[in-house]
Structures are given as C-alpha cells and as structure tokens.
Structure 1
C-alpha cells in the first residue's frame, strides 16, 4: 500500500491535533512539523518520531501532502507555496481572506492536479445530524456562535468573522447557495484591533435570508441554529443538545457514536483523496462562497467603523 508522507505546518494546539492524526493513520507517515520557532516544531515532532523544520522549502520537499494549521493571515501564502511545490494541501479555515485569492488557489490546485481541502469540520457535524440531507432550500437561517475572549488571544490576527462566523457562513452557503444578492452588517471592536462582535444578514435570489451573529466578547457561550423551511422549522441548541423539529425530515443531535471525531474524519478524508481512493470531502472550490460572504460582511462593518 502506498504511504502518504504528511507534514504539519504549525506547532500550536491544532497543529498538534493534526500531527496526532497523521502519526496514528495506517495510510500516512508523519515526516515533519514546520514552525518559525524550531524548538516548538521539534517538541511536537519528537512526540511522534518526526523531524522539526524551520525552513518551509525543506519541509515541502520532504512531504507529499501538508496540513496548514497556522494563523489565518498566513493561509493563502503557505497554501500557494505548497501547491506550487506539488504538495496536496489541507488548510484550516478560512482558505484565504478574500474571494479572489480563494478562487485563485482553488483553480491553481485543480490545474496542477493537487488536492486542496479546507478544514470546515462543521460540515461533518451538519451532515451527521441530517441537516445537509434536507433537499428544500431554507426560507430563513439564523445562527449564533458566541463566547468569551480566548485566554491566549487565539485567532486574534483576524476578526471574529474569519474566526467564528466563517463556520456558519460556510453552512449558509451550502444550504442557500454560494451567490448572495445583498448584505447588511454591523459590528464593533471590543478587546482587539479587529472586529470582535458581528451581525450580518445575507439575502438570496431565492428570497431566502441568512442572519448570522458571532462574538468573542460574550459573557457566556451560545451556539444555536434556527432554520425555516417551506415544510416546517428546525431549532437546535448545540450546547444543551435540545432540538425542535416540525419538518418531515430526520434530524439528530446525538451523533457522538456516528461522529466521535470530526477533525479526524476530515483528516482521513483528506488522506484518502490524496491517495486517489475517494473525493475530497471539503474541496476548495466549494468553500469560496463562505470566503466571499465573510469578505463582504467585514467590508460592510469596516466602512461604518472607519467612517
């Protein structure tokens, strides 16, 4: 059996998670961990008998495929370099910080015959719950994703739109369609130089509306979704696992047995795609819509804040 040589870019918490998955898989060999801080790279790599790198070029030369788990502002640059070096790439969300860059990356990967997958693990959750199997186009989607500030300022290099709302933007794009017809948004800076609280409303040619709210400055965690279909409504509280469903479709909230590890499922899907055994479960072209929505929402808010 062909073994995929995998490297992980980023020696933080998520880099460590991805390194564990690559080291444990029978399909892969974890060959190295890259980080600007070689000591950090060595510490993560040494747990699995792999090598630490602080040269991205040398790291790419050792790998067939890489996982990018670095701050979002570096996603586009590192993904582009990896694709040009003929590596397959799994990049944590978001793919890029503007729609054009996201489309260009997806096109470049396709042109070179490389897998480019994005780490939208929430898709695996929504699919296991049965939400993505519903064939009706929603009339309304309302999502809230909020929590207190991260103690280590995680993802503090970008706004809450790219940090948290991007999950719900991706689900809305899948359920409503990638092409929105209008956006209204508001937000504010609270504890960082970026937008820490944001609300956005998107309209679609179908007449549907998506209203999304995200905060990393809330006093308590909140994670809910309410979807209105022609046939009924679904309301989900992901924290309390409460579900109200008046549609004729089967929707579940207890998916622990079916999907105990969404990140692991995403990584396994990536390995299989790289080895030609399956299609990528989250191909890059299918994530450009969420990037375009995030870009539009942020631009609308910054226009007001910086006026």
Structure 2
C-alpha cells in the first residue's frame, strides 16, 4: 500500500498528539512538523525522527496531507494555503471563524478534489454511545461544558464559544438540523479579553430547542447533556459516567472497548479518506453549521457585553 505523507502544522499540545498518531500509523509516512517557531517544531518532530520546519511552503511541498493544529485564528489561512498546494487537510475545530469562510473553504477543497476534515472527535463518542443513532427528533437539548482556565491560556485567542461550546454546537446541529431560526446568547469576560463564559439558546422551525452553556472559568469541571424526546429523556453525566434513560433507545456509557482513542479514530479515518479507502468521517461541509451557530451566538452575546 502506498503510504500517505503526513505533516503536522503546529507544535503545541494537540500538534504533538497528532504527530504521535501520524508517526504510529501503518498508513502514513510522518514527514515532520511546521511551526513559526523553528525550535518548537524541531522539539516535537525530533521525537519521531522527523524534521521541524518554519517554512510553510517547503513543508507543504513535502506532504500529501497535513493536520492543522494551530490557534483557531490561523485555521483558515493555513488550511486554504494547504488546499491550494493540493494537500488534503485535517483541521482542528473550529473549521474557521465565520460561516462564510467555512463554506468557501469547504467548496474550495471539493473543487480541487481534496479531503477537508474537521476535528470534531465528540461525534465519534456520541456515535459510539448511541446518541447519534436515534431517529426520533429531539424536542430539547441541554448541554453544559465547563472547567477551570486552561494552562498557559491555551485557546485564549478566541472566546469560549469557539473553544469549548463548538463541540456541543456541532452535536446540536447533528441532532436538530443545520438550519436554526433564532438565537439568543449572553456571556462575560473573566480572565481573557474574550468571553470566558457563555450561554446560548437556539430555536428551530421544527419546534426543537438547544440550550448550551460553556465556561473556562469554572472552579470544577462539569460535562453533562440532557436530551428530551417525545418518547422520554436521556441525561448523561460524562464525568461520573451516569446515564438516566427513559426512552426506548439503548445508550451505552462504557465505550472504551469500542472507542479507546477518539482522536486516533478521527486521524485514521482521515488517512483512509485521503487514500481513497473510505469517506471522511467529518467532512467540512458537514461542519459548517457549527461555525454558523458559533458566529451567531458570539454576535448575540457580544451585543450585551460592554466593550
């Protein structure tokens, strides 16, 4: 089998994770790490016997596919340049920071016949649990995703909506549909110049509602989801692994055997798609809705916050 030449753009925590996956996969040849900081790139890449580079064009010339794991504000330009260089791209969430650029980037990749995948690994977890297998339309989705500030202000270049809520926005779009007809949101700054806490409510023509809350300024971690259907309710505490289920559908909480490594599953799915062995598990066009929702929520929240 011809191996896929894969490089990783970004020498941070997630860049390191993706480099581990690319270096270990039987489907890939790990080409190295790009970062604007040459020393950082070399530090990560050398662990896997690969070069670190600070010349992005030269880096792209070496690769068939790249993983973009840089701060969110740089996702769109780096992914677009890679696609224009005829590379397949796996970009960490969010795809971009506006619905317009997300659609444009997805269209560009499709026009060039390139795979553009988005790092929404939570879909793999929800699917393995059975949450995404339910055909019945939800009446209500409530999600909470909260925790203390990240070390070194990681992801501090964007608000908590793009940093944490984006996961639940994507799941809401998967379950309620991509077209919402109303949004109200609020938030506040706590330790950064962006919103560190936010709440948002989306309404849909079907009558469904999504209520989402995210915080990166909480004292303790909290990760819950409650979904109300005409047939009953499902309440999941992802930290205690407790599930309350009054619906007729099976929800599995212990998915370790089926999905021991969501990030690895996402990356392997990307490699397979690039090699023409399977369809991308998270294609870019399917991730545009979450970007549009995040953009709308941020605009609504910021309208209520003093500059």
Shorter-chain TM-score bucket reads: over 0.9
1:78-157 aligned within 5 A:
78-157=78-157
What are structure 2's unaligned runs of at least 5 residues? none
| Corresponding residue for residue 76 of structure 2 | 76
1:51 offset after TM fit, Å?
A: 1.0
Instruction: State the distance in 2 between where 1:182 and 1:306 align.
Output: 23
2:169 paired with 1:169: yes
Q: Alpha-carbon deviation of 1:284? A: 0.2
Residue 245 of structure 2 is aligned to residue 268 of structure 1: no
Q: Which residue of 1 aligns with 2:197?
A: 197
Aligned to 1:61: 61
Q: CA deviation at 1:84?
A: 0.4
Residue in 1 that maps onto 2:35: 35
Give the TM-score, by structure 2 length.
0.99
Q: How far has the Cα of 1:151 moved from its partner? A: 2.2
The answer for the alignment partner of 1:19 in structure 2 is: 19
Other-structure match for 1:228: 228
Cα deviation, residue 306, structure 1: 3.7
What residue in structure 2 maps to residue 242 of structure 1? 242
Q: Give the Cα–Cα distance (whole angstroms) in 1 for the partners of residues 147 and 74 of structure 2.
A: 25
Structure 1 unaligned residues grouped into runs of 5+: none
Query: What is the distance in 2 between the residues matched to 1:24 and 1:149?
Result: 31
Quote how far apart the aligned CAs of 1:209 are. Answer: 0.2
1:103-146 alpha-carbon deviations (Å, 9 max, x no partner): 00000000000000000000000000000000011000000000
1:275 deviation in Å? 0.1
Q: Give the aligned partner of residue 253 of structure 1.
A: 253
Q: CA deviation at 1:163?
A: 0.2
CA distance in 2: counterparts of 1:113 and 1:134, whole angstroms: 32
1:41-52 paired onto structure 2 within 5 Å:
41-52=41-52
1:17, 1:150 → 2: CA distance? 17
**Aligned position for 1:217:** 217
Partner of 2:179: 179
* Misfit runs of 4+, over 3 Å: none
Counterpart CA distance in 2 for 1:150 and 1:4 is 33
